[in-house]
Chain A
Amino acid sequence: MIAIQTSDVDIGALIYAAKKHGTGAVVVFDGVVRDDDITEMELEAYEDVAIRELEKIARDATEQFRLLHVDIIHRIGRLTVGENILIIVVSAGHRPEAYAGSRYIIEEIKKGVPIWKKELTKDGGRWVPGEHGHGKGLPESIPKFSGIE
Chain B
Amino acid sequence: MRGLRWHDTTENAKGDEEVTAKIRFFARFRELLGTDIMTDVAPGMMFTSLITTIVQKNPEGYAAIFDENDAFHEFVILMKNGKRVEIGDAAKTPVMDGDEIAVFPPVAGG
Contact = CB atoms under 8 A, between A and B. Distances in A.
A24 interface: no
Contacts of B24: 46
B107 A113 contact: yes
A45 B110 CA distance: 11
Given A46-B102, A52-B82, A133-B77, A114 B107 contact: yes
Interface stretch (A5-13, A61-69, A91-99, A122-130): A122-130
Nearest to B84: A134
Given A49-B79, A52-B82, A131 B106 contact: yes
A30 B52 CA distance: 40
Q: How large is the interface on B (under 10, 10 to 19, 20 to 34, 35 or more residues)?
A: 10 to 19
Contacts of A86: 109-110
A115 B77 contact: no
A121 to B, nearest CB: 15
**Majority DSSP secondary structure for residues of A touching B:** mixed
**Majority DSSP secondary structure for residues of B touching A:** loop
A127 B105 contact: yes
Contacts of A44: 26-27, 30
B82 A117 contact: no
Interface stretch (A15-23, A104-112, A140-148): A104-112
Q: How large is the interface on A (under 10, 10 to 19, 20 to 34, 35 or more residues)?
A: 20 to 34
Contacts of A45: 109
A117 B109 contact: yes
Interface in B86-110: 102, 104-110
Contacts of B82: 48-49, 52
A52 B102 CA distance: 15
A127 B110 contact: no
Given A46-B26, A114-B26, A133 B75 contact: yes
Nearest to B26: A46
Of B84, B102, B106, B109, which is in contact with the most chain A CB atoms at under 10 Å from its CB?
B109
Interface in B35-56: none
Contacts of B79: 46, 49
A137 interface: no
